[in-house]
Chain A
């Protein structure tokens, strides 16, 4: 009887200790991620020419590690894309920031995103604009992203699992369209749903390598594209290479 009460006492005393330890760990991890995010902003974004203050603030506030698979969390703030399953990736932070900055988002904007993926880019956009409509074609990813977005309390993001080809006609036109997973063609309905003067940004290239970004602009009945360079220009021609 005595020994049982001792062990019960010991066990009970362990509980608050465990809670305390967990809290300390949680705080230290949270702090750690916050620090990493701050470093990411400084080293990967500002150092490479991301200057838009709203974009920087959004990148600073959005907890990227919450959007990646558990096994990848420790790499969440590294300067690279990460696999999220189904052959898809969460883009490199710099690409997300660059794509966000280039559409010049304003607080009253309504943005359409094609390819929700992890939901991270939608979250970044939602920190700046009024409403984000995001469409994911892969059901499992769409569901997963919706859950994360819900859990984190982003109430201005609307997720739909559907074929992004058709856009989201009920909420069109959009001030900007962000296509995160480019296809071999640009769907005519998306061009149609882009506001006059609006901007559409599309990455071109394998997700794991240096991507070219393409900006599509609609003005005066003309549609033009601009191949943007998220990396510094480099001469591919060198006599001494």
Chain B
């Protein structure tokens, strides 16, 4: 039993409860992210969570408005709020699955009733965060003088929460994880139960536990968006999920149906049966078809697609398949007599599936003596094996989806498709080797042009002046395959390409001696500007087209690794005029969602959290420095977190491990920093100094972090972990100090600002995540790190301003 506020000192049970409660909040957030990404797309998760997290800001507002009321009742209110947030965690997801508020992001802009449903989802998922944050905020206010210790407990708990989720999702489906997580805040509430309203607390605890158990045993039915590929596939006759498994990479489903066939863009000259294959889905999205490999097969279905291009040019004895997914390109290489094929697959669960449960379905493809399956993200594989292995064919998968992805992957970092990645591939090519990459033909042309500009820049960077002699491309009715060769394409090869194209009703698009009429012999394009763009990219310095084209078609780089991001802010209005506003989202949904998320979180935070409190009379003097200081900290912390995640995705090779490593290490280290700050007496001076130290570290990172990570990326795992720990923990340790020092400062100078500070910090953190994405896309990571640095300088300035106003 805790008594407030008479005993504001150190309280081990409260610390434990706070830590456990913090574990739950971060775990709930991450599982919710996973769940919403599964039933919808990760952008939906992003939108919902960004609004839900404003619960932190709103709780701060409420505490400021009714500070005395809350403090007076804190003894029973804190445990009660914890239990309520647990209850909310258990029930919100099942409620959100009710027909009346089920929402579909895909038709948000075409069906008006989706908007109230979206709003209902916002409100629903806001609740657990709001109640949870209210409990934390109250603890911080009451223990402001010992904030360092309590903030440590909060951050350490959050750090552990990140690791817990990773373990949980390996064994449970996300819908089962919710009730388990929901028990944690309830336990926290029980740990610090209050004698007052004891019956109410017991009743609420009982209800929460009972509901959690119920939903764990009988989780709600999951209906995924009818526009996701899994849903579409399940409408086929006799479609059946023959395997399902939760994994840290997402939920894996294997579906079979006599109507699932795989033959992407197959030639119209193909007159045989298109093979039926079971398909693997990851989080409801098509991941790949399981090929039934046959060494003695007379043909491979890919021989009738443009992807056969490298094999008709020459023999390919050693092949590297990047992003090999379920191994269709590996099977193709084997059927084309490759002696050795390496396949890099980032998803261990899929590898296991094809090596074990589905080994028979693929005729033991992944156990074939001529292939080597490597569990690694493609870029990490390139980095590690640069200078060690060489190939005469490196193949990238078919990009984009048939009919387009509606830009749903726009903001995924794709380090395997940056100019730096292509350089690594180039260096690993044998003298007559080729890199091939294919794409669905898109309209307006974007993916195809970006691939081509990347290949042209690659040629230029390797001092090839006559790129048109090194690059070839052929096009079918639906796909295009580009190949770049280290040595010039010779006459025999061009003749083979022409003959093959004729047989398959394909058209050559790029050949050293291409004639204009050849490009549309079988597949006529009414809008032929695609060829003009191709020629301009090939034969000019590309500056004009990069600048003038309606979409980003400049190659992606490690600094801006968003290959699938094409939308540019300045052409939004023009494209809306051309296609109509309703169709804009389907050109690139991902970018628009982030833009929308930023605008809505900014407006909501401003309207309901920052402005009301700014005009509240009782908040006293020094409002501007409080706003600046805690706002800058919220912005700076999130920007650094996002930069580190992006840098370490490249370093570790997989987003899941990078996100877990960065978030958990940062939070734990910041917790340690916070604890350390509790020993500091000269609060104001130290707060200024610490912010300067952080700005200094960020300055060093802006210059030196990338080269250091690049130098150690190919090292042994243990060394990599040590490097990661040092470079994540160092700034995070200091970054854990300014917030508690600031709160401590307020507890001495203006206690009424504490709740507000908590609210501002929470709100700005939310705004910062979408803002950082937009800045990264438009300006690159260097700009993001510069803004983070400026934020900490701003916090330093705000502390100085406090002194002038208050002292």
Contact = CB atoms under 8 A, between A and B. Distances in A.
A163 B404 contact: no
Contacts of A231: 579
Given A139-B237, A183-B402, A184-B478, A209 B264 contact: no
Contacts of A234: 444, 578
Contacts of B232: 87
A125 B227 CA distance: 27
Nearest to A218: B268
Given A185-B263, A241-B571, A206 B274 contact: no
Interface string B493-532: 0000000000001000000000000000011111101000
Binding site secondary structure of chain A: loop
A184 B229 CA distance: 13
Contact of B107 (A83, A165, A224, A235): A83
Nearest to A203: B403
A231 to B, nearest CB: 8
Interface string A150-191: 000000000000110100000000000000001111111001
A192 B523 contact: no
Interface in A210-241: 210, 212, 214, 216, 222-229, 231, 233-239, 241
A137 interface: yes
B587 interface: yes
Contacts of A185: 261, 263-266, 274
Contacts of B539: none
A205 interface: yes
A86 B224 CA distance: 11
B116 interface: no
Interface in B243-278: 258-259, 261-266, 268-274
B603 interface: no
Nearest to B258: A163
A241 B477 CA distance: 31
B226 interface: yes
B526 A241 contact: no
Contact of A165 (B274, B443, B582): B274
A233 B272 contact: no
Interface in A63-107: 80-81, 83, 85-87
A214 B522 CA distance: 12
B221 interface: no
Given A137-B236, A138-B235, A163-B258, A192 B583 contact: no
B268 A238 contact: no
A237 B107 contact: no
Interface string A195-206: 000000000111
B527 A229 contact: yes
Interface residues of A, number: 47
B268 A225 contact: yes
A238 B226 CA distance: 37
B268 A227 contact: no
A236 B550 CA distance: 5
A191 B267 CA distance: 11
A188 B550 contact: no
B682 interface: no
A223 B266 CA distance: 13
Given A188-B271, A224-B522, A206 B264 contact: no
A188 B225 CA distance: 31
B551 interface: yes
Contact of B478 (A137, A204, A224): A204
Interface in B547-585: 547-551, 570-571, 574, 578-579, 582-583
A237 B535 CA distance: 14
A208 interface: yes
A237 B545 contact: yes
B548 A209 contact: no
Interface of B: 106-107, 110-111, 225-228, 231-232, 235-237, 258-259, 261-266, 268-274, 402-404, 406, 441, 443-445, 477-478, 505, 522-527, 529, 533, 545, 547-551, 570-571, 574, 578-579, 582-583, 586-587
Given A87-B225, A137-B236, 6 more contacts: A205-B403, A208-B107, A209-B587, A226-B525, A237-B529, A241-B550
**A-B pairs, 5 with minimum CB distance:** A209-B586, A87-B226, A185-B263, A223-B268, A241-B574
6 contacts: A87-B232, A138-B235, A206-B406, A208-B110, A209-B579, A214-B477
